[in-house]
């Protein structure tokens, strides 16, 4: 054989040596198993990419939800603080009112209170002379 004959490969690919039937079936089975595994790898790789995309989308959604939760927690904390201030103001005002009433009761003579009631009744009678009360106080 010359060098030209050794390096020359036929256009249809290398010639297959004559193999026994069981060897040809083993090659076919091995090739089919390889192709099946390669296909499963392609499907699994596609599923992995889809799962990674879904994870990225869900991470973004979780981040947005966490921001909303933080915002609502801040609003609730603000409302609680506002409520606490309102309750403190209410207690302070109730104390002022109770103290004022106590001082008023202790220092205003009862005759003055009765006189104020009669004056109020007279004023009302003058504003509505045709009311059920016929006599002026």
pLDDT digits (tens, 9 = 90+) for 53-111: 999 999 999 999 999 999 999 999 999 999 999 999 999 999 999 998 888 877 766 65
Which residues are within 8 A (CB) of 125 and not within 5 positions of it... i.e. 6 or more apart? 131, 133, 136, 137
What pLDDT score was predicted for residue 8?
53
The Cα–Cα gap between 115 and 112 comes to 5
Query: How many Cβ atoms are within 10 Å of 20's Cβ, its own excluded?
Result: 8
Residues with Cβ within 8 Å of 27's Cβ and at least 6 positions away in sequence, in order, are: 19
Q: Are 37 and 44 in contact (CB under 8 A)?
A: no
Question: 120 pLDDT exceeds 90?
Answer: no
């Amino acid at each position: 054989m010359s060098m030209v004959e050794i390096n020359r490969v036929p256009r249809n690919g290398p010639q297959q040596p004559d193999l026994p039937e069981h060897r040809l079936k083993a090659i076919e089975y091995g090739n089919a198993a390889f192709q099946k595994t390669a296909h499963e790898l392609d499907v699994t790789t596609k599923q992995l990419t889809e799962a990674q995309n879904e994870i990225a989308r869900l991470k973004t959604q979780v981040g947005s939800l966490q921001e909303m939760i933080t915002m609502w927690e801040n609003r609730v904390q603000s409302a609680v603080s506002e409520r606490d201030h309102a309750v403190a103001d209410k207690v302070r005002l109730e104390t002022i009112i109770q103290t004022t009433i106590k001082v008023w009761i202790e220092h205003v003579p009862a005759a003055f209170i009765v006189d104020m009631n009669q004056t109020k009744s007279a004023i009302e009678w003058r504003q509505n002379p045709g009311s059920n009360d016929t006599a002026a106080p």
